[in-house]
Amino acid sequence: MTFTPSVAAAEATTLQIFDALDVGHPMLVALSGNGSTTAAAITFTPNSLTFAGQLLTTTSATQTVTISNPSTVTPLTISAITIPGTDPFTITNTTCPTLPVILTVSPGGTTCVLTLTFNPTATTTPGPVSGAITVTDSANGSPHTVALAGTAWDFSATAAAISIAKGATGNFPVVVTGLGGFTGAVAFTCTPGMLITSCSVPTTNAAPAPGATASGSITASSFIVPPQSMKLPPSAFLRQVLFLMMAIGLLFMLPEVRRFRARLGMAGAMMVFVLVAGCTGNPGNSSKSSTIAITPSSGGVTKTAITVNVTITQ
């Protein structure tokens, strides 16, 4: 209960508590108080602050709280104004930079104006956040508090591995999830890796889990140069040399053979050896690997790039 005197004198009343299931009721509790024009008092305008949703690592627009002395007789002394260091609320400016300060009586008394911001850090849990300004003063009931509230926002994006044919263009899903109630627009920068001609992801509004889905686009190169890592192993190289030497040997022996069928058979064998040598170690229709980097951003906040693996089939 609180007591708000209406006159500068003693006041009294009775609190009645009714209970129909028991006898001897209502229970009576005597209440009394004494109104005074000489006691110090304090007023906050407004008596609480609520900040709109704010992305992690960003700072909100400012809001103000005015501290005044409603007493017409007694000055008010303010000795301390604090916010816990762990709160994502900051007093960025004050008209009372040096404490203690004395606020003169009303009307026309001095005031203390506090300017605050809401700045959730990277470690703030997305969702509702609360805090308080604590003011230590000479008024009854000190210390007094001003409640602070805000909502911390965040977002994330995910994408699975992609498979696409050489020279083709295809779409792939990117899931955009808003955290703490965030539903703002998220833009993307898509950086293609080797063997990728282009990639893009459209700007998409985030949604609570499981999130909203953006349709990204990717185009694979139609001309693929085998990378250095695809050099033939020593055993494959030796097989190539052996078949080529056998083909050359048959080529030199060919003029010595008189019979037409024998020469025809040797020519056929020579061609087989050349073909086998050319095919040894050939990667054929094996797939190639690459990556794309997707970087999401919103409201001045840029997230770490997401690396997506891409398989390019022949």
CATH number of this structure's domain 160-224+286-313, picked from the four choices 2.60.40.10, 1.10.260.40, 2.160.10.10, 2.40.110.10: 2.60.40.10
**Whole-number pLDDT of residue 307:** 96
Q: What is the mean pLDDT of the chain?
A: 88
Can you spell out the DSSP letters for the chain?
-----SSSSEEEEEEEE--TTSSS-SEEEEEEEE--SSS---EEESSEEEEEEEETT--PPPEEEEEE---SSS-EEEEEEE--TTSSEEEEEES--SSSEEEPPSSS--EEEEEEEE---TTSPSEEEEEEEEEEESSTT-SEEEEEEEEEEEEEEEE--EEEETT-EEEEEEEEEEETT---EEEEEEEE-TTEEEEE---EE-BSTT-EEEEEEEEE-SS-PPPGGGPPPHHHHHHHHHHHHHHHHHHHHGGG---HHHHHHHHHHHHHHHHHHHHTT--TT--EEEEEEEEEEETTEEPPPEEEEEEEE-
Quick check: 204 pLDDT over 80?
Answer: yes
Q: What is the pLDDT of residues 80-125, one digit of tens each?
A: 999 988 889 999 999 999 999 999 998 888 999 999 999 999 999 9
Band the pLDDT of 242: cuts 50, 70, 90. confident
At the topology level of CATH, where does 43-154 sit? Immunoglobulin-like (2.60.40)
Taking the complete model, does pTM exceed 0.75, yes or no? no
**Domain regions of the chain by residue span:** 1-35, 43-154, 160-224+286-313, 228-279
Who has greater pLDDT, 72 or 292? 292
